[in-house]
Amino acid sequence: MPAVPALNVALGERSYPIVIASGLLADGFDLAGYLAGRDCLIVSNETVAPLYAARVEALLHGRAVHRIDLPDGEAHKNMASFSAVLDALAEQRAARDTTVIALGGGVVGDIAGFAAASYMRGVPFIQVPTTLLAQVDSSVGGKTGINHARGKNLVGAFHQPRLVLIDTDTLATLPDRELKAGLAEVIKHGAIADAEFFAWLEDHVEALLARDAAALAHAIRRCCEIKAAIVAEDEREEGRRAVLNFGHTFGHAIENSLGYGEWLHGEAVAVGMLLAAELGNLDDAARARLRKLVAAAGLPLAPPALAAATLRRAMGMDKKARSGVLRFIVLDAIGEARVDANVPEARIAGLLSRAAG
């Protein structure tokens, strides 16, 4: 196939390309050229594998290809799935030049990446995300991990991929609910870093919901550009990268409190963004714009029926906390985000009580 321009995540010797185009899994992309050695393990799930695994395997002609299909869903982003991938690697006698290929959404990518980070203290891996949420967010940046009963993504590692391969055609098979959940992360990128992109989303949200190919390609690329720039500046979330968690302190608490998988990650983040927007210096008009866009994307506007104390307890395990103090990502304007470690506990309690009411 003709060369496709790639974005670059600039991390020195850990730099890697993000390739975004239609038809990448069907038109002979040189995926085998990104493998570290002869062997690879494709990690997928029971939903995605029947749709796309054969196409990925065809791009790996001449290589020793193994595969494991995990159960589908956030409820399976756990130690059992992580162990299953490690077992598969050990059973194929995988060496340090074996490449793990994650084919699926954010759950598959996080599990496969964490297994790649852990097996023999680190083997290469490639991300082939097939959901909008994974394409615009979780496949980029090297965060990998699994959930724990006490907290979302509580166990994991930073491990950058060698390649992120985004075939936008995979969105044709994505359920509507998953597409809408992915739009939450798209909205987040505009809200934290690009007011012009946020305005573009306001004008094009209906096209995105209708799966307009040009609109989706633009949104995916812009989100990847934003995230790549932030990750290049702060790979291990010691500073600015934390703003990518806008809405996630509340969102993760919702997911954990309900039981993983009851709400999709993007649905919880959508509500989390609206709650977090109450904590910064965003004016009423800007908050109304955010709420209107979230609603237009078909996402929830209020948390589920959970006690305020339940949500606050779950928030206590947020990974951004330092010395027991919660650090929120807040907006001063659309496109301007910062970390705030000085939100009074009474303000948090009041917000949660109103939301739970």
Residues involved in catalysis? 121, 143, 185, 227, 237, 241, 245, 248, 252, 265
The alpha carbon of 34 is separated from its chain's Cα centroid by a whole number of angstroms, namely: 22
Exposure string (b/e) for 283-310, b if CB count within 10 Å is 16 or more? eeebbebbeebbebbbbbeebeebebeb
DSSP 16: E
Closest by alpha carbon to 278, among 353, 199, 227, 203?
A: 353
User: Residue 271 corresponds to which amino acid?
Assistant: V
Closest by alpha carbon to 253, among 153, 332, 143?
A: 153
Please state the φ and ψ torsions of residue 74, each to the nearest 5 degrees.
-60, -30
**Sequence-separated (6 or more) residues with CB below 8 Å from residue 147:** 74, 77, 78, 153, 154, 155, 256, 260
- For tokens 């991300």, the residue is 127
> CA-CA distance, 103 to 118, in Å (whole number)?
18
- The greatest distance separating any two alpha carbons of the chain, rounded to the nearest whole angstrom, comes to 62
CB atoms near residue 235 (< 10 Å): 17
> CA-CA distance, 31 to 47, in Å (whole number)?
22
Please state the φ and ψ torsions of residue 65, each to the nearest 5 degrees.
-105, 125
CB atoms near residue 69 (< 10 Å): 19
On whether the CB atoms of residues 276 and 246 are closer than 8 A, the answer is yes
> CA-CA distance, 76 to 83, in Å (whole number)?
12
Question: Which two three-digit tokens encode residue 281?
Answer: 């210096």
Question: CA angle, 238 as apex, 127 and 248 as ends, to 5°?
Answer: 65
